[in-house]
């Protein structure tokens, strides 16, 4: 039976700039083989197709770089782990068809359920995650120059399948997730880039993993997720907010989604929050909800062509693009992309080619 991880995106930020100075190195550098296989049981369930994705925001000219992480069980029920750095180029031809060219570089790594960030100088940060037995609090950095992961810091709590946000002023927020005692977390912490250290924030009102988080006008929104492991617990439609500038910070309940969702993608587009796809815990979704601050409620948006969860959403040329994810209803692992045609109010599939 499939068990779905969460998606992480970085709101409406364009580029994440990590502090150029590394924090104190805790352990020696380590290197790992690409695509190590794991024959593991996660949360008491064997996973057939388990994918975790990230929107990463480095842009140069028309190219967008994302880090895309997923695991798939093969015919022998062995888990194959993939972490990919993908360079995406989108063009429009004379017939107004959208075309996507991508170049994929495989990265060595040994965990999943982790949080990935692509730095301004094209290094990659990995935070937390699990090897299928133990959750980790470590923060590691990978640079193409030495092709190794170097541990640079530790979070306060070990966690996997949490959601997070990277901000333009070099801070990282991590929220909820799964702990080492098979418990779901409500703890929140952030990386203060000015001192290269993690600080605690007030806990969430609800425990949740596989949620999605964004930041908009100095307020963090955490949306959806689930409060139990495996087949246990409920999928949230609730939303919580935290104003990071308030002196006495406290999470407040916000207007709930119409549909319960985990593994959804969220992004701020033209001062509206888009909650896209995800899963009910039973089936994947193609529906979209939009929070319009002017009218103060969630409204139904144009649906995707394909139901998907645990995928990437990013901005290209002032348009929304979704990429990848899983569809347990039909196709399983999906690498296709859709772009939102705002004028026609519909999602359009992109023609894809591989740049070798």
Residue 51 near residue 333, CB atoms below 8 Å: yes
Look at the block and give the residue holding tokens 């203060």.
Answer: 192
What is d(CA 328, CA 139) in angstroms, rounded to the nearest whole number?
31
pLDDT in tens, 135-187: 999 999 888 788 889 998 999 999 999 999 987 766 899 999 999 988 999 99
d(C-alpha 302, C-alpha 322), whole Å: 13
User: Quick check: 333 pLDDT over 90?
Assistant: no
3-state secondary structure of 23: coil
How many Cα atoms are found within 13 Å in the side-chain-facing hemisphere of 53? 26
Rounded to whole angstroms, how far apart are CA atoms 225 and 26? 32
- State the DSSP H helix or E strand holding residue 90, giving kind and residue range, or none if neither: strand 79-92
Evaluate if pTM is beyond 0.95.
Answer: no
| Domain residue extents for the chain | 37-354
Strands 351-354 and 98-107: parallel
**Count, residues in the chain:** 356
Average pLDDT over residues 58-65: 65
What digits encode the pLDDT tens for the residues 268-315?
999 999 999 999 999 999 999 999 999 999 999 999 999 999 999 999
232 CB-contact burial (10 Å; exposed 0-12 / middle 13-18 / buried 19+):
exposed
DSSP structure class, residue 160:
B
Return the CATH superfamily for domain 37-354.
Kelch-type beta propeller (2.120.10.80)
């Amino acid at each position: 039976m499939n068990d779905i991880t969460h998606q992480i995106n970085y709101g409406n930020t364009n580029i994440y700039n990590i502090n150029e100075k590394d924090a104190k190195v805790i352990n020696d550098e380590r290197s790992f083989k690409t695509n190590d296989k794991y024959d593991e049981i996660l949360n008491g369930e064997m996973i057939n197709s388990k994918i975790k994705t990230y929107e990463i925001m480095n842009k140069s000219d028309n190219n967008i770089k994302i880090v895309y992480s997923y695991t798939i069980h093969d015919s022998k029920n062995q888990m194959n782990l993939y972490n990919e750095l993908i360079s995406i180029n989108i063009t429009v031809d004379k017939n107004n068809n959208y075309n996507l060219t991508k170049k994929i570089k495989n990265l060595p790594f040994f965990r999943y359920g982790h949080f990935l960030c692509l730095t301004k100088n094209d290094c990659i940060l990995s935070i937390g995650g699990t090897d299928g037995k133990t959750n980790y609090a470590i923060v590691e950095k990978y640079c193409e120059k030495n092709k190794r992961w170097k541990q640079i810091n530790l979070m306060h709590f070990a966690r996997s399948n949490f959601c997070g946000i990277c901000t333009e002023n070099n801070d990282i927020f991590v929220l909820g997730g799964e702990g080492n005692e098979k418990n779901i977390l409500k703890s929140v912490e952030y990386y203060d880039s000015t001192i290269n250290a993690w600080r605690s924030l007030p806990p969430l009102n609800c425990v949740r993993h596989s949620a999605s988080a964004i930041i908009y006008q100095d307020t963090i929104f955490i949306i959806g997720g689930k409060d139990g492991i495996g087949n246990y617990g409920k999928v949230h439609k609730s939303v919580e907010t935290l104003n990071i500038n308030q002196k006495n910070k406290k999470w407040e309940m916000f207007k709930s989604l119409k549909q319960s969702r985990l593994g959804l993608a969220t992004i701020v587009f033209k001062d509206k929050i888009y909650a896209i796809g995800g899963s009910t815990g039973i089936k994947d979704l193609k529906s979209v909800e939009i929070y319009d601050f002017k009218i103060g409620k969630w409204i139904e948006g144009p649906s995707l062509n394909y139901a998907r969860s645990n995928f990437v959403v990013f901005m290209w040329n002032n348009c929304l693009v979704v990429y990848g994810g899983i569809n347990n209803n039909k196709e399983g692992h999906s690498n296709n992309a859709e772009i939102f045609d705002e004028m026609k109010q519909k999602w359009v599939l992109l023609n894809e080619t591989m740049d070798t």
